[in-house]
Amino acid sequence: MKFAGAANAATIQRKYYERTAHLYDAAHVTETDEHFLALKYISAFCDILNVASALDVGCGTGRGMKYFLNHKPKIDIRGIEPVPTLIRQAVQANGIPRELIMVGSGDHLPFPDASIDAVLECGILHHANEPGQVVREMLRVSRRAVFLSDENRFAHGSLLSRCAKVVLCKTGVFGAAYRLKTLGKGYRFSEGDGLAYSYSVFDCIDLLVRWADRIILIPTDNIKTSGFFHPLLSSFHLLLCAVRDTETRDTE
């Protein structure tokens, strides 16, 4: 779902991070939030799959990398991040070795095909103007697993609103409806989260299904939810795990 004004939106987001980088961890990182829980599950999958190398796309201030360095020191963890200010925060405040982080964008990962065992992201796809391109790149460079810890628009709002969003997406008109709702911008902005788009980990499910042998969905909300349409309509935060049983399956 690509929106116009991407260059201006990217500038707004970059300036937001430059202004708030020193406050980012205090505002967003805790050991009880959805991404920390996701990292625990990702870590377990890495054991099962014998992962030796991993890439954190949009590593920000290094939360995911720090988890791997502390809990999985034998895994060669690397990060890529487009905002230098966040990289400096990762190095200076969180002790991430500078040589482990590359300046770059998730939509053009500078790695060969199938060169990294596992590729992950924690809460960056709802900030991407073209999240599908980022996911395609993650699938391209991964050998065994891709992990998306992110939002699910279909679980936000009233039941009527949630169902309406599913229908709008299925009929291909959600993008136009969201542009109308946001007065043509196609994104929202808040001091708590910066610039963000309406996103769901289900948006790229077809890409992931074609690539993976297994798709596992893990709700990571702090509240227990249930229902016939769980987790599609009930969990706003999800970890989507796309894994391959072997390394030999061809990329489609």
Q: Is 186 helix (H, G, I), strand (E, B) or coil?
A: coil
Query: In this structure, are strands 188-190 and 194-196 parallel, antiparallel, or unpaired?
Result: antiparallel
Per-residue pLDDT tens for 148-204?
999 999 999 999 999 999 999 999 999 999 999 999 999 999 999 999 999 999 999
| pLDDT of 231 higher than 60 | yes
Q: What is the pLDDT of residue 4?
A: 47
What share of the chain has pLDDT > 90, as a percent?
85
Judged by average pLDDT, the poorest of 25-29, 119-123, 217-221 is: 25-29
Strand order in the sheet with 53-57: 101-103, 76-81, 53-57, 116-122, 142-151, 237-243, 214-219
Contact between 45 and 232 (Cβ < 8 Å) = no
| pLDDT of 125 higher than 90 | yes
This prediction's pTM: 0.93
Q: What is the pLDDT of residue 252?
A: 44
| C-beta contacts of 244-251 below 8 A and 24+ residues apart | 244/143, 244/144, 244/145, 244/211, 244/212, 244/213, 244/214, 245/213, 245/214, 246/213, 247/114, 247/143, 247/144, 249/213, 251/113, 251/114, 251/139, 251/140, 251/211
| Tokens describing residue 109 | 């990962």
pLDDT-based confidence at residue 248 (cuts at 50, 70, 90): low
pLDDT-based confidence at residue 249 (cuts at 50, 70, 90): low
Better pLDDT: 32 or 248: 32
Average pLDDT for residues 43-66, to the nearest whole number? 97
Average pLDDT for residues 214-233, to the nearest whole number? 90
Q: Cα separation of 95 and 64, whole Å?
A: 12
Q: Cα separation of 29 and 32, whole Å?
A: 9
| pLDDT of 251 higher than 50 | no
Contact between 18 and 85 (Cβ < 8 Å) = yes
What share of the chain has pLDDT > 70, as a percent?
95
Q: What is the pLDDT of residue 5?
A: 61
Strand-pair partners of 215: 242
Q: Cα separation of 22 and 146, whole Å?
A: 29
The fold of 6-243 is Rossmann fold (3.40.50)
Contact between 147 and 119 (Cβ < 8 Å) = yes
Q: Cα separation of 175 and 43, whole Å?
A: 35
What are the helix (H) ranges across 191-241? 205-211
Per-residue pLDDT tens for 1-20?
554 466 789 899 989 999 99
Q: Cα separation of 40 and 55, whole Å?
A: 16
pLDDT-based confidence at residue 24 (cuts at 50, 70, 90): confident
